[in-house]
Structure 1
Amino acid sequence: MYPEPMSKSLEGKLVVAISSRALFDFEEENKVFEDSDDRAYMDLQLSRLDVPAKPGVAYPLVKKLLAFNTETDNRVAVVILSRNDPVSGLRVFRSAQEANLQLERGVFTRGRNPYPYLTSLGANLFLSAKEEDVRAALNAGFAAARVYPDSAVAADRHPDEIRIAFDGDAVLFSDEAERIYAARGLEAFQAHEIERAAIPLPPGPFKPLLEALKPLQAQPAGAPMRVRTALVTARSAPAHERAIRTLMAWNIQVDEAMFLGGLEKADFLREFEPDFFFDDQTGYCDTAARVGPTGHVVSGVKNEVGGPRPSDR
């Protein structure tokens, strides 16, 4: 008889689930799929099985996250979670091996929304180029973002540090205050936040990700890889106080905080040089993508289907 296989667990690890198109540049192949069908896509991927795919928008982030793993201590798990068929998945793993990315796990659903498997994985983050999948993941309570595949990517900057930037309302925090602004304007928003300055905001979809990042942030000063985070928000004084107090109440620290009062975020992201930036507003995402890897968090009042679409604040 064969011995029982040892059970493995992802518990205690930072788990990132990522679509193949977010990790690798499959835009040409995707166009074939959109213009034809999945069979043509599969045939093209199979014909390119020995051609390593180029890095995609999330490649630098994944490569740096995996650098936290050592021979004796694996802190991060990256899992391919893709609508690809299993045959096309062969090229994903071949490309990962060629790039020296230590990927062991993948789930391929051939056209079906893969988000239900996030629960089994215990995923802390899901990145995909498909909005439908991202919406479903967010609705299920997972931190998720629609990546901009054409984002500017500079994989060689800050090789010893992961830099992640987050918007505040509807991303780190709930959209409670955002709804006040959308319905009643800036003056009412400011008054609402001043009145509740000492009351922590309800958590947004990315609060659990910040929690999961804390062990990586606690690395000693001489560690080969570090994490640096930034809050980049359109809030301004006096509404800044509630955001800061909320992070304090959560016992979560960010390294930098930018309260921009409606200034263009891309100008400040250009200086911070994030490996990824997450925002709920497409206006900010569109300009941020010209600076670096960007993900649209399809949550909150400004992303409700058929709901209000007020101008970006």
Structure 2
Amino acid sequence: MAVTLDDKLVVAISSRALFNFEEENRVFEKDNDRAYVDLQRQRLDVPAAPGVAFSLVRKLLAFNTSEHQRVEVVLLSRNDPVSGMRVFRSCHAHGLPSIQRGVFTQGRDPFRYLRPLGAHLFLSANEADVREALHLGYPAARVVTESVQAGDSNPNEVRIAFDGDAVLFSDEAERVYQAEGLAAFQQHETDKAEQPLPDGPFKPLLAALHRLQSAGEAGGTGMRIRTALVTARSAPAHERAIRTLMDWNIAVDEAMFLGGLPKGEFLREFEPDFFFDDQTGHVTSAARHVPAGHVNSGISNPVRVVGN
């Protein structure tokens, strides 16, 4: 029988998202790729410290059992193969021996391999790679490497928080807000309260997590998933967001309609393993308290055109 990942939740992740390679990256940026490779070669037997997305990956892999492999994590990196060897060794040293697949492109674009992987999520510290992955239709976020790492107070629960507009949902309503202001936005959402919002880039991930939760409950792993919608919306615009989730037949465990309040302190109390948002201000606020990633999509992230 052919090997396939079709029945799994597939996370593709870069080396810097999974492990702390910031010192090595500074060498790469300051000197050149040869100095970087030499440093990685010198440190082959030194496990890298866990990075921002480590907790998320470790907990997702805990849904696997000897009978059922429900989650696949694949290293997808611009690193060279020698550096890739250190990444695999670091996985083993930190109790993640089930990470056995990887693609190392030595500086070339890695995102093209998301298609054969059928990835449900791509996490990278490279903004350009994230943008291209989103353009191809894959949920992707730039990991803020200076984020606070996740705590360990919820070892049996994967906690993930999502922004709404331009993340779970399309940026349709956000476009109205930016063009016409808050009053027009509220009226627009009130008028369309019973019309589901179009899908956003992270709807496929939320759906995959919903399936994983159902499988995990049946499989007796002791792990569960807790999700939160954390949005700048407030009443009456909350109703369309909730009705959209109802239309998808997907429930979130918590919903925070903050009406523009800073999200960081609310996220600190929720204690997510990761938070996804499209607006850099919200991501910066969140990163002071929790692991965070920037979703480079929607009206708040216009494509930069480079002149001649």
Please report the TM-score for the alignment, with normalisation by the length of structure 2.
Answer: 0.96
Select which of 106, 112, 119 maps to 1:123.
119
Give the superposition deviation at 1:52.
0.4
* Residues 93-172 of structure 1 mapped to structure 2, 5 A cutoff: 93-101=88-96, 102-172=98-168
1:109-159: per-residue Cα shift (whole Å, max 9, x none)? 011110000000000000000100000000000000000111111342200
The whole-number CA distance in structure 2 between the counterparts of 1:151 and 1:265 is: 14
Gaps of 5+ in 1: 1-5, 308-313
- Amino acid corresponding to residue 252 of structure 2 in structure 1: V
Do structure 1's residue 71 and structure 2's residue 66 form an aligned pair?
yes
Partner residue, 2:256: 258
Kept in 1: contact 2:163–2:230 (CA 8 A): yes
Is the 8 Å Cα contact of residues 141 and 293 (structure 2) preserved in structure 1? yes
Residue of structure 1 in register with 2:233 after alignment: 235
In structure 1, what is the equivalent of residue 45 of structure 2? Answer: 50
Q: Which runs of at least 4 in structure 1 moved beyond 4 Å after TM superposition?
A: none
> Do structure 1's residue 20 and structure 2's residue 15 form an aligned pair?
yes
* Structure 2 unaligned blocks of 5 or more: none
Alignment pair present for 1:277 and 2:272: no
CA 1:115–1:306 in structure 2 vs 1: closer, same or farther (change >3 Å)? closer
1:153-203 Cα offsets, whole Å, 9 max, x none, are 134220010000000000000000000111111111111101100000000
- Give SS of 1:81's match: strand
Task: After TM superposition, give the deviation of residue 39 of structure 1 in Å.
Answer: 0.9
Amino acid at match of 1:185: G
Query: Retained in 1: the 8 A contact 2:62–2:221?
Result: no
Q: Give, in whole Å, the separation in 1 of the partners of 2:173 and 2:109.
A: 31
Residue 173 of structure 2, aligned match among 174, 177, 196: 177
Whole-angstrom distance in 1 between the partners of 2:140 and 2:32: 27
1:28-61: CA deviation from partner (whole Å, max 9, x where unpaired): 0000000011111111001000000000000000
> How far apart, CA to CA, are the structure 1 residues paired with 2:6 and 2:173?
34
Q: CA RMSD in A?
A: 1.2
State the alpha-carbon separation in 1 of the partners of residues 13 and 251 from structure 2: 26
The amino acid of 2:257's aligned partner reads: F
Distance 1:230 1:156 in 2: 18
What secondary structure sits across from 2:159 in the alignment? strand
Query: Counterpart of 2:217?
Result: 220
Counterpart CA distance in 2 for 1:257 and 1:16 is: 25
Q: Say yes or no: does 1:208 pair with 2:204.
A: yes
* Alpha-carbon distance in structure 1 between the residues aligned to 2:105 and 2:174: 36
- Secondary structure of the corresponding residue to residue 303 of structure 1: coil
Matched, 1:40 2:38: no
State the 1:216 CA deviation.
Answer: 2.1
Q: Distance in 1 between matches of 2:128 and 2:150?
A: 28
Aligned twin of 2:25: 30
Q: Secondary structure at the match of 1:132?
A: helix
In the alignment, the residues of structure 2 paired with residue 233 and residue 215 of structure 1 have an alpha-carbon distance, to the nearest angstrom, of 23
Structure 1 distance, partners of 2:95, 2:273, is: 19
Q: Structure 1 CA distance, aligned partners of 2:179 and 2:108?
A: 37
1:301 partner SS = coil
- Work out the CA distance in 1 between the residues paired with 2:258 and 2:221: 32
SS across alignment from 1:73 = coil
Distance of 1:81 and 1:160 partners within structure 2: 26
How far residue 220 of structure 1 moved from its aligned partner, in angstroms, is 2.7
CA contact (8 A) 2:18 2:50 kept: yes
Distance 1:106 1:49 in 2: 17
Per-residue deviation, residues 237-290 of structure 1 (Å, max 9, x unmatched): 000000000000011110000000001111110110000000000001001001
Which among 68, 77, 86 is matched to residue 82 of structure 1?
77
TM-score by length of 1: 0.95
Distance 1:39 1:229 in 2: 42
Kept after mapping to 1: 8 A contact 2:151/2:271: no
Task: State the secondary structure of the residue aligned to 2:92.
Answer: helix
Percentage identity across aligned positions? Answer: 69
- C-alpha distance in structure 2 between counterparts of 1:300 and 1:220, whole Å: 35
